[in-house]
Amino acid sequence: MTDSFVLYHNPRCSKSRAALELLQARGIAPQVVLYLETPPDAAALRDLLQRLDLAPRALLRTGEAVYSELGLADPVLDDEAIIAAMAAHPRLIERPILLHGTRAVVGRPTERLLDLLP
């Protein structure tokens, strides 16, 4: 069971650390993906978005400086441009994200992770 969970994690983020602690407290040792060190490519992001059932803009961290620098608030930008920006600048990806099977959730608030737990 534990090997079927994947956590997109940033150890410097308090929400991400809380997510990992919640999983470990329930006996789940997820595969941890340090996505800032090994960012997902565009294809992996498309798969992730499909599992999350989200549009690319919904996964953006709009408070990051690079969001403004790249002009990502521009409504003219299509989904592929947003995905390309997240692939090139993984700080833009909301976190933490837990994957299990064909589903995924963003752990904000952390309790949302419980939706995927047995």
- Residue 6, beta-bridge partner list: 31, 99
- Dig out the tokens for 25 from the structure: 């407290």
Q: Indicate which residues carry an active-site annotation.
A: 13
Please state, in angstroms and rounded to a whole number, the distance separating the CA atoms of residues 5 and 69. Answer: 34
| 6 closest CA partner among 33, 28, 24, 25 | 33
Please state, in angstroms and rounded to a whole number, the distance separating the CA atoms of residues 93 and 58. Answer: 10
